[in-house]
Amino acid sequence: MTTVWTVTAAVLIFCVLIFVHELGHFITAKLLKIRVHEFAIGMGPKLFGKQKGETLYSVRAFPIGGFCALEGEDTSSADARALSNKPAWVKLIVLVAGSFMNLLLGLLLLFCIFGMAKQVVVPQVATVIAGSAAEKSGVLPGDEIISLNGRRIHIVGDLYWEKDKLEERETELVVRRDGDKLTLAITPEKTPEGISLGVQLMAKENDFFLTVKSGFYTTVFYGRVIIETLVDLLRGNIGVSSMSGPIGIVSEIGSAVQETAQNGWEGFLNLLQLAVLLTINLGVFNLLPIPALDGGRIFFVVIEMIRRKPIPPEKEGMVHMIGFALLILLSLFIAYMDVLRLI
């Protein structure tokens, strides 16, 4: 039974994220008078569809993608409504819209998650542990943590992310105390649980403004974590084998579904958090300048804006086709690693 619910939840989450992404392209294309041939959820053979006006709305067999087929997307076209014949700023809006919708969905879901919380933990000191690094540096209860090691702290996630990158050497901690900013020197300590500053954080009663702040900065935080992780991947600090594809994601969804069955509402919120991370990941990843992704197409539009002349669609299409083939190979490798981890 758990397997059925896992598959159902995974298909539902994937379809919603894909639908929202492609809807961004679709809405902006229609508003900017670009011809849309097909709006599809899923890839592979068509299961069913309905023609309405010039656009075919379809559902395809494999819920691992989707597309919004635009006239003149990869080839030249004599149609005045073709994407290839539109100004660069129009192309840019249509291409960015998909990722924007994913990020917006993540933000709205986080507003819902935080909005349902009675209290929110904030980067403000509730207790200073006796004999800890914080006590030695002069941190006091009530201090609001503004920055750590030169990085601005807005939410608890920012603080934990920066703290875990520290070593046992002196660094800068900026706090706000009684309306004044104070710069303290703190030397983090290593404990069995990891790097510690020696403070316990405060939980504040939730209100509208705290919900909005927490939702917005958590969206920014997730995007930042994704980008920094990709940078570490390119630098070789993280192995490609540690990446997860659809199989690994389904496994995580399965764990969240099982937790939902055991813990009810609390488990469901964790499943919702996973959906938030996935939609923000999809939004950020699609903006990367990689051929076949929206970011790769945006890269060509930026070149067009610089040279004031579009690159022939056929040549650009060839680059995207090669990029798509490489992405498929990478996906197969990641799927293989996912299977090995599950085994």
Q: Annotated catalytic sites, by residue?
A: 22
Q: How far apart are CA 249 and CA 278, in angstroms?
A: 9
Contact criterion met (CB below 8 Å) for 150 and 141:
no
Sign of CA dihedral 220, 221, 226, 231: positive
Contact criterion met (CB below 8 Å) for 59 and 47:
yes
Residue 230 tokens read as 């990709």
Contact criterion met (CB below 8 Å) for 71 and 35:
yes
Q: How far apart are CA 182 and CA 179, in angstroms?
A: 10
What secondary structure letter does DSSP report for 71?
T
Q: How far apart are CA 95 and CA 299, in angstroms?
A: 10
Contact criterion met (CB below 8 Å) for 279 and 20:
yes
Contact criterion met (CB below 8 Å) for 219 and 284:
no
Q: Which of 160, 154, 126, 143 is nearest to 215 (CA)?
A: 154
Q: Which residues contact 307 (CB under 8 A, 6 or more apart)?
A: none
Q: How far apart are CA 70 and CA 24, in angstroms?
A: 13
DSSP letter string, 131-160 = TSHHHHHT--TTPEEEEETTEE--SHHHHH
Q: How far apart are CA 141 and CA 157, in angstroms?
A: 20
